[in-house]
C-alpha cells in the first residue's frame, strides 16, 4: 500500500496559506456543529516517528475551540495501564458526545510495537487486530466518528530528518534510541504496517495515508479529509440515517488530495520491436517450463487482470498463454452478474472459478468490479463497496493460505492513448466489435473511475497480494513486464 504513494506531492507557500485559512474557518464552524449534534469524534495519527505528526496535529487544533478537544499521547502504557485490560487505557480517553479526542499514536502503535519487539507472535497479532476491529466497530455503531491517518515518509527522508534533529539539539529536541532504531528496521517495520492496514482497513474506520514529505501538503490533506468526514456525518444526523463516507462524491479538491498511486506511473517506457520479439519468445518458453513446474508441484495459480478499457488485457492474456499447455489453464471473462449470480453473494461466482491444484486460472476482470464499476455506476451501495475492500483482502488471504499463487495486474494507459485506441477500433472493421457505447460512456466518467482505481490499488495492495501496475501505453513493453513478473513469481515460489 504505502509504496504506491507519490511522496513528491507538495504545495507552495502561497497556495498553502490561502488553503489553510479557508479550511480552518470551515473546521471551526464544524466543531461547533458537531458539539451541538452531540457527535463524539476520534482522530488517531499513526506513522513514522519523524513524519510530522506533531506539526499536523497542531495545524488541526489551531482552528478549534480548546474546550472541545483533547490530545492524547499513547506511545507506551504507564504502570497503571499495563495492569489493566488493553483497551481500558483508551476507553478512559474516549470523547464525550460532542467532543473530539485526538490520539498521537494509540492502539495500533502498541500492537505493532509488541510485534517489533518480538513480544507477540503472528497469531497473537492477528487476534489483536481482530480485537481492534471489534473495538472500532463498536464505537462507530455507537455513533462515534473514527478518522485514522498514517503519515508516511521514505526511509531516506526519515534518516535525513533524524539527523537534522540531532544536529539541532538544543533548539528542538534530541532523537531517542527508538528513533534511530526505527531507521534500522524501516523495511521490516514497513511490512508490519502493511499487514496492519490489510487487517484493519474497514468500511466503518478506513485508513487514510498522508504523503508527508511536504508538511504543508500533509496538513491540507488532513484538514480536507476531516472537514469532509464531519460534513458527511452531520448530513447523516440531519437526515436521520447512518452511512459511511462516499469518496466518489468528494469535491475536486478532496479527490486531488486522496491517494495518488497512478500519478507516479511512467507511461513513456517503450521497447524496440527486435527486443520485444526476442524476449517474448524467451519468456514464453520459460513460462511453459514453469507451468509444468506448477502442475507437478500441485500449486494453483490465479492471475487477475484489471485495467482501463482498451488497455490491452486481451492481447496481454494472449501472449501470456501463447506457449502454455491449454489443458492446464483457463480464462474467465467477467461481465455484469447474471440472473443466477444475483441470487448469491457477489464473490460466489468467482469462488466457483478458482483453480484446482496445478491449474492456472486467469481472470479478465474480476471481483474488483465491486469497487470499480459497481461503485462508480451506483450498482452497489457505498456501504457495500466500501466493505468489499476488507472482504476482498480476506478472500485473497484465504486463497494464499490454502497454497495458491495469486498475481494481480492493473494495466495503465493515459486518456489520450485510450481515445486513440477507441478511434482505431471504430474505424477498423476487424476491430470495431471491441468498441461499444458503454466504453464511450465509461470514458466520460474517467475522473470518477481514476479515483476509484487509486483507492482500490491502495486499499487492496497487501503484503501477500500486491498489485503490479503495468505501463501499457506501449503494448509490447506492458506484455513483457507482465510475463516477466509471472515468471519471477513462480521462480520465487519454488526457490529457483
pLDDT, tens only, 177-202:
777 888 888 998 999 899 999 899 99
Strands (E), 14-156: 41-47, 69-73, 100-104, 145-152
Mean pLDDT over all residues of the chain? 89
What contacts 328, CB < 8 A, 6 or more positions away?
291, 292, 294, 295, 358, 359, 360
Average pLDDT, integer, range 463-483: 97
pLDDT for position 174: 66
Q: Are the C-beta atoms of residues 222 and 149 closer than 8 Å to each other? A: yes
| Rounded percentage of the chain residues whose pLDDT exceeds 70 | 94
pLDDT surpasses 80 at 165: no
pLDDT, tens only, 328-381:
999 999 999 998 988 888 999 999 899 999 999 999 999 999 999 999 999 999
What is the C-alpha to C-alpha distance for residues 179 and 175, in angstroms, rounded to an integer? Answer: 6
Average pLDDT, integer, range 199-211: 93
DSSP line for 317-332: HHHHSTTS-GGGEEEE
Mean pLDDT lowest among 45-54, 248-257, 296-305:
248-257
Q: What are phi and psi of 87, to 5 degrees?
A: -80, -5
DSSP secondary-structure letter at 94?
P
pLDDT surpasses 70 at 258: no
Grid cell digits, residue 361: 486460472
pLDDT surpasses 50 at 97: yes
Average pLDDT, integer, range 119-142: 83
pLDDT for position 241: 57
Q: For residues 126 and 221, which has the higher predicted lDDT (pLDDT)?
A: 221
pLDDT band for position 288 (cuts 50, 70, 90): very high
What contacts 236, CB < 8 A, 6 or more positions away?
242, 243
- 352-354-358 Cα angle (round to 5): 140
pLDDT surpasses 50 at 5: yes
pLDDT for position 485: 98
Largest CA-CA distance found in the chain, in angstroms, rounded: 76
Mean pLDDT lowest among 19-28, 227-236, 428-437:
428-437
pLDDT for position 251: 45
- What is the pTM (predicted TM-score) of this model? 0.78
pLDDT for position 109: 87
Q: Are the C-beta atoms of residues 34 and 230 closer than 8 Å to each other? A: yes
Half-sphere exposure of 316 (CA within 13 A, CB side): 34
| Rounded percentage of the chain residues whose pLDDT exceeds 90 | 63
pLDDT band for position 274 (cuts 50, 70, 90): very high
pLDDT for position 245: 46
Mean pLDDT lowest among 110-114, 198-202, 390-394, 476-480:
110-114
What is the C-alpha to C-alpha distance for residues 43 and 72, in angstroms, rounded to an integer? Answer: 10
What is the C-alpha to C-alpha distance for residues 435 and 275, in angstroms, rounded to an integer? Answer: 30
- 309-315-317 Cα angle (round to 5): 100
pLDDT for position 401: 86
- 231-234-236 Cα angle (round to 5): 110
What is the C-alpha to C-alpha distance for residues 461 and 483, in angstroms, rounded to an integer? Answer: 19
Q: Could you count the other beta carbons within 10 Å of the beta carbon of residue 118?
A: 7
pLDDT surpasses 50 at 158: yes
Grid cell digits, residue 404: 495458491
pLDDT band for position 427 (cuts 50, 70, 90): confident
What is the C-alpha to C-alpha distance for residues 246 and 230, in angstroms, rounded to an integer? Answer: 12
What is the C-alpha to C-alpha distance for residues 174 and 306, in angstroms, rounded to an integer? Answer: 48
What is the C-alpha to C-alpha distance for residues 446 and 444, in angstroms, rounded to an integer? Answer: 6
pLDDT, tens only, 42-57:
999 999 988 999 999 9
Amino acid at each position: 500500500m504505502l509504496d504506491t504513494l507519490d511522496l513528491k506531492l507538495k504545495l507552495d507557500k502561497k497556495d498553502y496559506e490561502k488553503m489553510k485559512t479557508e479550511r480552518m474557518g470551515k473546521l471551526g464552524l464544524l466543531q461547533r456543529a458537531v458539539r451541538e449534534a452531540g457527535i463524539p469524534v476520534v482522530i488517531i495519527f499513526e506513522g513514522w516517528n519523524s513524519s510530522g505528526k506533531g506539526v499536523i496535529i497542531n495545524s488541526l487544533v489551531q482552528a478549534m475551540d480548546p474546550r472541545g478537544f483533547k490530545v492524547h499521547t499513547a506511545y507506551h502504557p504507564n504502570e497503571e495501564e499495563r495492569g489493566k485490560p488493553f483497551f481500558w487505557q483508551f476507553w478512559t480517553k474516549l470523547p464525550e458526545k460532542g467532543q473530539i479526542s485526538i490520539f498521537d499514536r494509540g492502539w495500533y502503535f502498541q500492537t505493532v510495537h509488541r510485534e517489533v519487539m518480538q513480544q507477540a507472535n503472528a497469531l497473537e497479532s492477528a487476534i489483536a487486530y481482530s480485537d481492534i476491529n471489534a473495538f472500532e466497530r463498536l464505537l462507530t455503531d455507537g455513533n462515534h466518528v473514527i478518522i485514522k491517518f498514517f503519515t508516511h515518509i521514505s526511509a531516506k527522508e526519515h534518516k535525513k530528518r533524524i539527523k537534522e534533529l540531532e544536529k539541532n539539539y538544543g533548539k528542538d529536541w534530541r532523537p531517542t534510541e527508538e528513533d534511530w532504531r526505527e531507521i534500522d528496521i524501516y523495511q521490516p517495520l514497513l511490512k508490519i504496517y502493511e499487514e496492519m492496514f490489510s487487517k484493519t482497513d474497514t468500511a466503518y474506520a478506513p485508513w487514510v495515508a498522508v504523503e508527508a514529505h511536504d508538511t504543508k501538503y500533509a496538513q491540507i490533506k488532513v484538514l480536507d479529509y476531516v472537514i469532509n468526514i464531519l460534513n458527511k456525518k452531520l448530513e447523516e444526523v440531519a437526515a436521520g440515517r447512518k452511512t459511511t463516507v462516499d469518496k466518489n462524491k468528494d469535491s475536486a479538491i478532496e479527490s486531488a488530495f486522496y491517494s495518488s498511486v497512478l500519478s507516479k506511473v511512467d507511461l513513456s517506457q517503450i521497447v524496440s520491436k527486435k527486443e520485444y520479439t526476442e524476449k517474448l519468445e524467451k519468456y514464453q518458453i520459460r513460462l511453459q517450463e514453469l507451468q509444468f513446474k506448477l502442475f507437478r508441484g500441485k500449486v494453483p495459480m490465479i492471475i487477475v487482470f484489471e485495467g482501463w478499457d482498451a488497455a490491452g488485457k486481451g492481447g496481454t492474456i494472449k501472449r501470456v498463454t501463447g506457449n502454455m499447455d491449454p489443458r492446464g489453464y483457463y480464462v474467465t471473462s467477467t461481465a455484469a452478474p447474471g440472473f443466477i449470480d444475483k441470487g448469491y453473494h457477489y464473490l460466489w461466482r468467482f469462488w466457483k472459478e478458482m483453480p484446482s491444484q496445478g491449474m492456472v486460472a486467469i481472470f479478465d476482470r474480476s471481483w474488483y468490479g465491486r469497487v470499480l464499476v459497481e461503485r462508480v455506476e451506483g450498482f452497489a451501495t457505498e456501504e457495500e463497496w466500501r466493505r468489499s475492500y476488507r472482504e476482498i483482502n480476506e478472500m485473497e488471504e484465504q486463497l494464499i493460505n490454502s497454497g495458491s499463487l495469486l498475481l494481480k495486474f492493473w494495466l495503465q494507459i493515459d486518456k489520450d492513448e485510450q481515445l486513440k485506441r477507441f478511434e482505431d477500433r471504430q474505424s477498423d472493421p476487424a476491430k470495431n466489435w471491441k468498441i461499444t457505447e458503454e466504453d464511450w460512456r465509461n470514458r466520460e466518467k474517467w475522473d470518477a473511475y481514476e479515483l476509484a482505481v487509486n483507492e482500490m490499488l491502495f486499499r487492496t495492495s497487501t503484503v501477500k497480494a500486491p498489485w503490479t501496475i503495468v505501463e501499457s501505453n506501449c503494448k509490447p513493453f506492458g506484455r513483457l513486464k507482465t510475463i516477466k513478473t509471472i515468471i519471477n513469481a513462480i521462480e520465487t515460489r519454488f526457490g529457483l
